[in-house]
Chains A and B, each alone.
Chain A
């Protein structure tokens, strides 16, 4: 196969994947509006997605907060020997973008893999077929509870991710660069636009991760090896979805709320 046709096939694959994911999103939303919602399932999924990710997200965001502040302070010191605005700029960029986006990338691995593996193994053991034989729609039964649970829990986890990264950055600034807490805790640069853009991102990522991963899970075929593939593909695709959404929401956010 030559390079041109290989590229062509890859483009067709990606187009089909995007179409399938959008379709899954539309069906999920339709069932969210009209379908039956199983409280017990949603609560169970909230536990799966939420509680079990708290430790992971706290540790990773703690380290990321330290690294971000350490590196940016080093860079800043090369230009001006003054770190009084370090906390203010860090707060703005964290709230507007990095807190939610880096946190979502971490969650895409933890939550996305979990959803795809769980649904994928139900596909290869024919449980999804059995659901369809009972006239139960797999999207209504399997995807909707995960979607709703993820909307709520991802949102909370990403807000928490910002808090953790902010605090660990603050401690780093104090310990390494001697910036005291009161100087650091400066929210002068944070305005309503930053908060709105940040929260929009939290919601968008919370919706995208379960839909992309569930679509990958339902497309599984071929035994336990198939589940492995589906899981890998779910992590890759949901991380990509996070980055693409980050780009578009940032772009629109910049046009609506410059600054």
Chain B
């Protein structure tokens, strides 16, 4: 078992976001986390790489408990577990190639030349090599997302977290990103956790799905389980209905 959350609890001040969340993700799995905006999906996955610390509970990665590590100790976790953020977090003052080269220089301590050379190869795999010298603000959202994915993959991580990778993309770019995520699981054996509320991606590429609701896991299962469930809250969410029992 490669990733395990156990009784994770997180509050900001008096606002409890995660009350008691637990699930396991298997090796090579494409695991989706779904739920309404603001339930704490981003908060949840940021715990795995130490961007947030839980108030209670434990988180295991490869059998090692990571929830108590120091910021320094998290550096090695962040090498094997990359994250593609919801916002474009490319640095505007650097070209695409320099952005992709940054983790190579910081984590692997490669020289500027060697890092840039490897960055170009990485950009090639997401079909962005011709834009290597462009600055991120000059590119469209879909292209920026691809560069961001290339940056996340530069260190050959075994785990990748995607935070709403297709939100704000046009349908064609969105399906391309889906395809890329699926190929990572099938061909490279990467374990991915994808936060999403894009129904096309959820039912297109997920192996298993976990739905968060009010600080708890409401349902955990395969896409088939979700389509045949009689839980009214889950039904309302996956059918995208405005009327129903779900509180947002």
A: residues with CB less than 8 A from B are 125-127, 129-130, 132-137, 221
Contact = CB atoms under 8 A, between A and B. Distances in A.
Given A134-B102, A134-B106, A126 B89 contact: yes
Given A126-B85, A126-B86, A221-B12, A132 B91 contact: no
A134 B103 contact: yes
Given A125-B87, A127-B91, A133 B82 contact: yes
Given A135-B75, A135-B78, A221-B12, A130 B89 contact: yes
Contacts of A135: 75, 78-79, 103, 106-107
Contacts of A127: 87, 89, 91
Contacts of B85: 126, 129-130
Contacts, number: 41
A36 B12 CA distance: 33
Interface string B103-128: 10011000000000000000000000
Contacts of B16: none
Interface of B: 12, 46, 49, 51, 71, 75, 78-79, 82-83, 85-89, 91, 102-103, 106-107
A68 B86 CA distance: 53
A119 to B, nearest CB: 14
Contacts of B88: 125
Given A127-B89, A133-B78, A135-B75, 17 more contacts: A125-B87, A126-B86, A126-B87, A126-B89, A129-B46, A129-B51, A129-B83, A129-B89, A130-B85, A133-B103, A134-B102, A134-B106, A135-B78, A135-B79, A135-B106, A135-B107, A137-B71
**A contact face: mostly helix, strand, loop, or mixed:** loop
B106 A136 contact: yes
5 contacts: A129-B51, A129-B89, A132-B71, A133-B49, A134-B107
A132 B51 contact: yes
B157 to A, nearest CB: 10
B187 to A, nearest CB: 24
A257 to B, nearest CB: 44
Contacts of A129: 46, 51, 83, 85, 89
DSSP majority for the B interface? mixed
A217 B160 CA distance: 28
A42 to B, nearest CB: 14
Nearest to A44: B93
A167 to B, nearest CB: 39
Contacts of B107: 134-135
A7 to B, nearest CB: 18
B83 A133 contact: yes
Nearest to B49: A133
B71 to A, nearest CB: 8
Nearest to B74: A132
A216 to B, nearest CB: 17
A56 to B, nearest CB: 25
A19 B184 CA distance: 45
A140 B88 CA distance: 22
Nearest to A40: B93
A134 B49 CA distance: 12
A122 B51 CA distance: 15
B186 to A, nearest CB: 25
A130 B79 CA distance: 13
Contacts of B71: 132, 137
Nearest to B42: A126
B91 to A, nearest CB: 7
B37 to A, nearest CB: 12
A237 B54 CA distance: 29
A222 to B, nearest CB: 9
A230 B12 CA distance: 17
Contacts of A137: 71
B140 to A, nearest CB: 17
Contacts of A136: 102, 106
A135 B83 CA distance: 13
A132 B85 CA distance: 12
Contacts of B75: 135
Contacts of A130: 85, 89, 91
Nearest to B161: A133
A137 B12 CA distance: 23
Q: Which 6 A-B pairs have the closest CB atoms?
A: A130-B89, A126-B85, A125-B87, A135-B75, A134-B106, A135-B106
